[in-house]
Amino acid sequence: MKLATYKDGSRDGQLVVVSRDLGQAHYATGIASRLQQVLDDWNFMAPQLQDLYDQLNAGRARHAFAFDAQQCMAPLPRAYQWADGSAYLNHVELVRRARGAEVPESFYTDPLIYQGGSDDFLGPCDDIVVPSEAMGIDFEAEIAVITGDVKMGASADQALDGVRLLMLANDVSLRNLIPAELAKGFGFFQSKPATAFSPVAVTPDELGAAWKGGRVHLTLQSTWNGRRVGMCEAGPEMTFHFGQLIAHIARTRNVRAGSIVGSGTVSNKDWTRGYSCIAEKRCIEAIENGQPSTEYMQYGDTIRIEMKGLDGQSLFGAIEQGIAAPR
């Protein structure tokens, strides 16, 4: 099934069920008003939402209306946890190679994850508001999952069973703030503003054969200012699958329902497939030409992130955002 959250003036919005083709929607009123309620009581509420989803797809839902991504908040507008990985090690290798550094061996056996802010997410069509263009504004096209409860010490297979929903993410980075923050030895903070998520979150079964081994075997498309810059394959080069990422988080603590875990920038060794963040393009330029030439995003720029299913139809809807200055 496919779920979204409509804006209603509140912090958590109103849960809606969305048809498979993203054409129709229906409020989940009477089952649950918010997605977190469903995640907290998944086994009881998910079957009821599935019934509504089936009715919607069959054209039998009595109060269906046209789905509008512009009205969407993030599917889970605020979460108990947002932990973002760096599961595509080609991205790490490029960044290190561009500055003449080696990738530590531990990176290939132990996932990289940082703890992001989860109190304020952006909807798929909300502007990315940044105090200054000089901060080095970059998009990052990613895949993310929302979990149920996963117990401390869970294996990768057990953790993978905890995946409830999948969605796309734009993990915005302010690149020019990152070096000073990392030099402190405490990781990202101000360099990672609010993350945006796709209009809908979908259950794994909606992906069909594309969901295999904890990876999404589909192409992630990134379009910057109307020009397609990335057609990156999300499956084969994901070094750590989602079960491994979640198990890493659960090594010393429980992971609670409503946690969001990101894949990190989707990246391929084949440079002809383009890029899912500008920093990677700049690294390639530095390797090939000695210095980067592509500038980061400016006010007025736009970014579109989308993934199509095996049937050629948009799976999660598109993240479509503009870059804006504070009012």
Q: Say what the pLDDT of residue 95 is.
A: 83
Q: Say what the pLDDT of residue 152 is.
A: 98
Residue 242 to residue 162: CA distance in whole angstroms = 10
Task: Show the tokens assigned to 219.
Answer: 């192409």
Task: Show the tokens assigned to 303.
Answer: 């970014």
**Residues whose CB falls within 8 Å of the CB of residue 185, separated by 6 or more in sequence, listed in order:** none
Q: Say what the pLDDT of residue 146 is.
A: 98
Q: Say what the pLDDT of residue 101 is.
A: 81
Of the CA atoms within 13 Å of residue 110, those in its CB half-sphere come to 7
Task: Show the tokens assigned to 93.
Answer: 């290798």
Q: Are the C-beta atoms of 17 and 26 separated by less than 8 Å?
A: yes
| Amino acid at position 173, single letter | S
Q: Say what the pLDDT of residue 102 is.
A: 84
Distance of alpha carbon 198 from its chain centroid, rounded? Answer: 7
Of the CA atoms within 13 Å of residue 85, those in its CB half-sphere come to 28
Residue 245 to residue 87: CA distance in whole angstroms = 8
The length of the chain is: 327
Q: Say what the pLDDT of residue 106 is.
A: 86
Q: What is the mean pLDDT of each run of 10 residues along the chain (327 residues)?
A: 98 98 96 98 98 97 97 97 95 84 87 95 98 98 98 98 98 96 91 98 97 98 98 97 98 98 97 96 93 97 97 97 97
* H-helix or E-strand spanning residue 221: strand 219-224
Burial label, 313 (beta-carbon count in 10 A; 0-12, 13-18, 19+) = exposed
Distances (CA, A) of 213 to 16, 108, 236: 29, 18, 10
Q: Say what the pLDDT of residue 147 is.
A: 98
Each residue of 242-255: b (16+ CB within 10 Å) or e?
bbbbbbbbbeeeeb
For the sheet with 128-129, list strands across it.
128-129, 319-324, 302-307, 219-224, 227-233
Q: Say what the pLDDT of residue 103 is.
A: 85
Q: Say what the pLDDT of residue 92 is.
A: 87
Q: Say what the pLDDT of residue 12 is.
A: 97
| Amino acid at position 146, single letter | I
Of the CA atoms within 13 Å of residue 322, those in its CB half-sphere come to 6
Residue 45 to residue 38: CA distance in whole angstroms = 6
Strands 259-262 and 81-85: parallel
